[in-house]
Structure 1
């Protein structure tokens, strides 16, 4: 069971789906890199004409999970720079919104000390 303490931590998996707490830039970049790489793969599998219905349902479920994890990562990252998670709505502004989210969440370091959203993410 030693692998469990190094490779897999249950609290990390719970944090993936949580809107509470804070996320580091590395955590944010890692989550979005996985989403950007897996998204097109799921799309290629589901977009085929002869795909069974259960695979299409699986694909929709995967996309829903990836969207939630991405949103949760954005909210926690905004918390890390002491901003409200509602700032994630900036993403919806055409053209500039995604760029603003990328610059803030991907480049600005988080608060080094505790803020209103908790202790710094590790």
Structure 2
């Protein structure tokens, strides 16, 4: 029995046969650069990734002999292996942060290239925070997909 769908075509985030948008999987939300996500999904993903990284780095640092200097509050004594592992974790963390932010720009009806505004000192970060983190996305479908309920 033949299927009418093309097995080589990427799955779309368009409406399902029932008429409601198909939600993105966790993998698509964290690692893909297409589609749209809501503010709630953006903040949940950002906080989960950030807090998870901080907790993991703290545990790893403490397990390898690191401590906090009581006078300055700065970490001291982290092993080079722990520093290397933490440094390597920045790569997927940066990827996930970009994926989340680009999908929020898409929800606002703008291309993902708008995430480059973060490189403008002070104003860029503030603009991005307001647009991506605070303002509601476009209502209804736009060129990047259906409204992410």
Shorter-chain TM band = 0.7 to 0.9
After superposing the two structures, state which structure 1 stretch, 11-20 or 22-31, moved more.
11-20
Q: 1:84 aligns with which of 111, 123, 129?
A: 111
Unaligned segments of structure 1, at least 5 residues: 1-8
The answer to whether the 8 A contact 2:138-2:147 is kept is yes
Deviation at 1:89, TM superposition (A): 0.5
Per the normalisation by structure 2, the TM-score is 0.65
Q: When you count helix as a share of all residues, which structure comes out higher? A: 1
Unaligned segments of structure 2, at least 5 residues: 1-22, 67-76
Deviation at 1:43, TM superposition (A): 4.1
Q: 1:74 aligns with which of 101, 107, 121?
A: 101
Higher relative contact order structure (alpha carbons within 8 Å, sequence separation ≥ 6):
1
Matches within 5 A, 1:8-47: 11-44=25-58, 45-46=60-61
Q: 1:60 aligns with which of 87, 97, 122?
A: 87
Distance 1:88 1:50 in 2: 33
Distance 1:41 1:71 in 2: 21
Larger radius of gyration: 2
Aligned twin of 1:104: 131
Q: How many residues align?
A: 113
Per the normalisation by structure 1, the TM-score is 0.78
Distance 1:109 1:80 in 2: 8
The answer to whether the 8 A contact 2:29-2:100 is kept is no
1:51 matched to 2:79? The reply is: yes
Deviation at 1:67, TM superposition (A): 1.0
